[in-house]
Amino acid sequence: MTRALQRLSIALALLFIAVGLTFGYWSLIRRSWLVGRDDNPRLVLAEQRIQRGTIFDRNGGILAESTRDPGSGLYTRQFPHPEVASVVGYYSLRYGVGGIEAAFDDLLRGNYQVTVGERLARVFLHKTQVGGDIRLTLDLSAQQTAMALLDGYAGAVIVLSVPEGDVLALVSSPSFDPAALDANWEDLAGDPTAPLLNRSTQGLYQPGTILQSVLLAAGLNSACLSLEDSISPVLTSQVNGLLLPCAASSDGVETLAAAYTAACPAPFVEAVQAIGELQLLAALRDFGLLAPPEFILPSESSGQVTSVPDLALGQSDLMVTPLQMALVAAAFADHGQIPPLRLVSATRQAGGSWETHRPSGFPRGAVSRAAADAVAGLMAQAVNNGSARQAAIPGYAVAGHSGIAITGQDGTYNGWFIGFLRVSEDRSIAVAVLVENTIQTGLAASIGGQVLQAAAAVYP
Amino acid sequence: MHTNSLVSTNNKRERVLLILAALFVALIRIALTLARHLPWYSLWPLLVWGACALLLHIGLTWLLPLRDPIILPVVMLMAGWGIVLTARLAPAFSTRQPIWLVVAALASLAIARLSPGLRILRRYRYSWLIAGIILLAATLIFGVNPSGGANAPRLWLGFGFIYFQPSEILKLLMVIFMASYLADKRDILSVKPLRVWKITLPTPQYIAPLLLMWGFCMILLIWQRDLGTASLFFIIFLGMLYVATNQTGYLLVGLVLLMLSGLAGYFLFDVVRLRVDAWLNPWPEASGRAFQIVQSLLAIASGGLFGQGIGQGSPTYIPVVHSDFVLAAIAEEWGLMGAVGVIASLAILIFRGLRIAAKNVDQPFKSLLAAGISLSLGIQSLLIAGGVLKLIPLTGVTFPFISYGGSSLLSGFVMIGLLWRLSDPATNRRIDQPIFSEPSLEFTP
């Protein structure tokens, strides 16, 4: 019996050791694999324990913040202004992050370099991980005005301050409510109007006659064109059997300058031939239309252009985003200089002080000052009595140009407007407006003018 | 060594270890109060625990001065941990568990008062076992499940607000019965008339009564679908048979039988198939049928080496964590260190029990009883630990002294009371004997 007891003891001891080793196997060796599993409910819980940072607009208005439930101690994300969704984006435990919430996720979560003491306190004392805050260049009231003006339309509006390049408003419509994202995700993702797409930065559109400013500036810059060039009497064009009309009355249009202010397409076909391919492509590159701009939010570009002659009507393989066109508008506002973009004006780590962010990149010369100013002068005329007269604001010096583009095969039209408003001698506000599926040439210009007026009120 | 000094060393050892256990239990209970922002009056179970520890220490010092001094501190450590865990994992039950501890402590003291020969257990072994079987059979008719649930097994008997699980007591009575039976018949059972190839098998007629009693228990348990307890009974039965006869043949036959019944169970019972499938590969069904075991492993992994801290992990994601999965909860909040600590505590207890068995080899009944109790506690904890760790399929038995459950705590303390009784062979102090005429303490090494 003693021998059996001894053997039994050894067997039990081995089994207990096996159990101890298996505990070690799961809790040490397989730990990271298990803890990182998608179905680990602790991941969501750990995320909800983070006091995520606040996103402010340029005046300190709260655009997104995390509030603590006193009972559970967990944080939930609040989005008091759904109008800023195109910029702020979303934060969802199920669908991840988008917009600024994604671009600055590490800062907002507090994932930056912390002291050893802080890290130990987080791991061993479950100290709440507090994230950093972000101040945007966005102006909430300008954003809300732009959003309200686009209500009912699909389109985009971007407002930039010149020469700083601060994004005052960036709107994509239709949009979504980030606070109700989890509940509506299926509908949003399946919606044919694509509310989750940021049309401002990622929507690629045919420029149509809005490209005329770039073409004209390129021609003036290289002295291949002159404003007094006379033109042939045919003013409108046909694209795939669809009419591409002038944006304003074509009465008395006899020079290239007049064709530009009325945004008539046909005269530019001849003009582009005069400029020449290489200079045209160089101009497109200099205006930043061949590459996505340096920007915090994901941005698109159609890339290289192969069918240069078709550029005259803006109906080629060159596609542009509203953001790119806003930079074109800014170039004319700033005498040929494209400002670098800035969306985040400052950030601060938890408990730290605000650190100002510089714009991404440097001002770039797009075109000579003389050529830019000449086109800008015509833009002022276009607002006075040309293609963009709906953008006029009493008491303000608004310049602009509106155009029309035919989209794809289905024969619908998009309306464009680019323009700027001089706030003072050396400061302006630039805007680009795109409205999908409209033949009304004045709609985009009208929205652009009202947005400029709203922005001028907050950006004196 | 002189008897008196041995007694005082013994008591001092127990006292010092008990104070260490008390410090640990108080520390984790106060930490839980702070971490979960509980009111201070919720610390009252600590006082109950302390009173039980004091009562048992004083009572045992008087009743059994030569008892094993390690067992009480280890058991109280685990019982205290269990009370803290019940408050942590199932606050609704946090009042019941300390009350059950008082009942269990008193029961263990009553057992410790039995005569050294434990004649009352041996003489009426069939009556005891039959009484246990009748109780178990009663659950077939009157059985309830306190947690409710339409398809939940009804393993409990309800008396007002008290629920009792007869299989816990039957397990103890089985061990007593087998110790007594095997002590009488072990010489006969050890004869080797049947030889199949190189393996010796026992004579059928001698093993028949034992197989009959065991089979009766098994049928009842399977009828109840309490398969964890059924497999526990079978392994205890095999182990005790092996200790009594020293015949590996029994073990081999038994293990083959276990495999066969496992296979049969796999095809006969949905619950067995589910658990075996979830054990073999839980990952594809992590959100469905294997939810419990995957959540258990996630809890263990999230504990790491040092744990998340008391009250600061999320073990309650595991369904019924407070009874079957306390080990996973300990691993999450106390880490690998806590889990190994619990396993080591239980291992210490079992090896003390086996040591008592080894010291009593000249009295087969006592030796077999101590071995059977140790085996019962050891196999039960290995079954549930292996299940929680995905080493073996889940069996749904409780972890002794730590899992929530009054019947389990009570039967555990009765077993411990028997171990105390067996570890002090000489002292015989009955309540009907006047204190002043106490018999001399004769110590036989």
Bond preceding residue B45 cis, omega within 30 of 0: no
Is residue A133 situated within a structural domain? no
Is residue A170 situated within a structural domain? yes
Interacting residues of A297 by C-beta distance below 8 A, sequence separation 6+: A87, A99, A100, A103, A170, A198, A201, A343
A13 φ/ψ angles, rounded to the nearest 5 degrees: -60, -45
Q: Which residue has the higher pLDDT, A457 or B336?
A: B336
Q: With residue B59 as reference, give the H or E element that holds it.
A: helix B44-63
Task: Tell me if B343 and A23 make a contact (CB, 8 A cut-off).
Answer: yes
Place of tokens 């960036």: A170
In this predicted model, what pLDDT tens digit does every residue of B315-349 receive, in sequence order?
888 888 888 899 999 999 999 999 999 999 999 99
A5, A18, A26 member nearest B354 (Cβ): A5
Residues B208, B210, B215, B218, Cα dihedral to 10°: -170
Task: Tell me if B385 and A40 make a contact (CB, 8 A cut-off).
Answer: no
CB B108 within 8 A of CB B414: yes
Interface pTM, i.e. ipTM: 0.90
CB A412 within 8 A of CB A239: no
Task: Tell me if A1 and B361 make a contact (CB, 8 A cut-off).
Answer: yes
Task: Tell me if A20 and B239 make a contact (CB, 8 A cut-off).
Answer: no
User: Mind giving me the DSSP string for B143-199?
Assistant: -B-TT--SSS---BEEETTEEE-HHHHHHHHHHHHHHHHHHHHHHHHT---EEETTE
Contacts of A9 in chain B (CB under 8 A): 351, 354
If asked whether residues A175 and A102 sit together in one domain, one would say no
Place of tokens 């947005």: A451
> Beta strand pairing status for B162-164 and B157-159?
antiparallel
Residue B441 pLDDT class (50, 70, 90 cuts): very low
CB atoms < 10 A from the CB of A236, how many?
Answer: 12
If asked whether residues A176 and A108 sit together in one domain, one would say no
Q: Is the torsion defined by CA of B205, B207, B210, B211 positive or negative? A: negative
Is residue A27 situated within a structural domain? no
Range of the domain at A84: 42-124
A4, A5, A16 member nearest B343 (Cβ): A16
If asked whether residues A253 and A402 sit together in one domain, one would say yes
If asked whether residues A197 and A113 sit together in one domain, one would say no
With a CB-CB cutoff of 8 Å, which residues 290-309 of chain A face chain B?
none
Which conformational region is residue B21 in: left (phi greater than 0), alpha (psi within -120 to 50 degrees), or beta? alpha
If asked whether residues A162 and A311 sit together in one domain, one would say yes
What's the structural domain count of chain A? 2
Mean pLDDT across chain B, nearest whole number?
Answer: 84
CB A188 within 8 A of CB A82: no
Q: How far is CA A387 from CA A252, A398, B301, in A?
A: 14, 13, 68
Contacts of A26 in chain B (CB under 8 A): 297, 300-301, 331, 389
In this predicted model, what pLDDT tens digit does every residue of A307-352 receive, in sequence order?
777 888 888 889 999 999 999 999 999 999 999 999 999 999 988 8
pLDDT at A251: 77
Task: Tell me if A5 and B378 make a contact (CB, 8 A cut-off).
Answer: no
Distance CA A200, CA A432 (A): 9
If asked whether residues A162 and A213 sit together in one domain, one would say yes
If asked whether residues A80 and A192 sit together in one domain, one would say no
Length, in residues, of chain B: 445
Among the candidates A95, A124, A153, a domain finishes at A124
Task: Tell me if B298 and A8 make a contact (CB, 8 A cut-off).
Answer: no
Interacting residues of A246 by C-beta distance below 8 A, sequence separation 6+: A235, A236, A253, A262, A263, A264, A265, A387
**Angle at B101 (CA atoms; ends B100, B106), nearest 5 degrees:** 100
With CA atoms as reference, the chain A residue closest to B330 would be A23
With CA atoms as reference, the chain B residue closest to A2 would be B358
Q: Is the torsion defined by CA of A262, A265, A266, A267 positive or negative? A: positive
Contacts of A128 in chain B (CB under 8 A): none
With CA atoms as reference, the chain A residue closest to B390 would be A22
With a CB-CB cutoff of 8 Å, which residues 111-130 of chain A face chain B?
124-126
CATH number, residue A398: 3.40.710.10
If asked whether residues A46 and A151 sit together in one domain, one would say no
Is residue A224 situated within a structural domain? yes
CATH number, residue A61: 3.90.1310.10
Task: Tell me if A42 and B314 make a contact (CB, 8 A cut-off).
Answer: yes
If asked whether residues A114 and A207 sit together in one domain, one would say no
Distance CA A115, CA B58 (A): 53
Contacts of B304 in chain A (CB under 8 A): 27-28, 31
With CA atoms as reference, the chain B residue closest to A27 would be B301
Distance CA A92, CA A94 (A): 5
Q: Is the torsion defined by CA of A6, A11, A16, A17 positive or negative? A: positive
B330–chain A nearest CA distance, Å: 11
If asked whether residues A269 and A418 sit together in one domain, one would say yes
In this predicted structure, the answer to whether residue A142 has a pLDDT above a threshold of 50 is: yes
User: A439 — contact with chain B (CB < 8 Å)?
Assistant: no
Nearest residue to B214 via CA among B171, B151, B267, B256: B171
Among the candidates A90, A124, A158, a domain finishes at A124
pLDDT at B37: 85
Interacting residues of A54 by C-beta distance below 8 A, sequence separation 6+: A62, A64, A65, A66, A133, A134
If asked whether residues A174 and A84 sit together in one domain, one would say no
Q: Which residue has the higher pLDDT, B272 or A24?
A: A24
Nearest residue to B184 via CA among B210, B217, B213: B210
In this predicted model, what pLDDT tens digit does every residue of A237-284 receive, in sequence order?
888 778 888 887 777 778 888 889 888 888 888 888 888 888 889 999
Is residue A4 situated within a structural domain? no
pTM exceeds 0.90 for this model: no
> Beta strand pairing status for A96-98 and A133-136?
unpaired
If asked whether residues A439 and A329 sit together in one domain, one would say yes
Is residue A422 situated within a structural domain? yes
In this predicted model, what pLDDT tens digit does every residue of B130-149 receive, in sequence order?
888 888 878 777 777 766 55
User: A3 — contact with chain B (CB < 8 Å)?
Assistant: yes
In this predicted model, what pLDDT tens digit does every residue of B3-30 receive, in sequence order?
678 788 889 999 999 999 999 999 999 9
Is residue A285 situated within a structural domain? yes
Is residue A19 situated within a structural domain? no
Paired tokens of B28: 């984790």
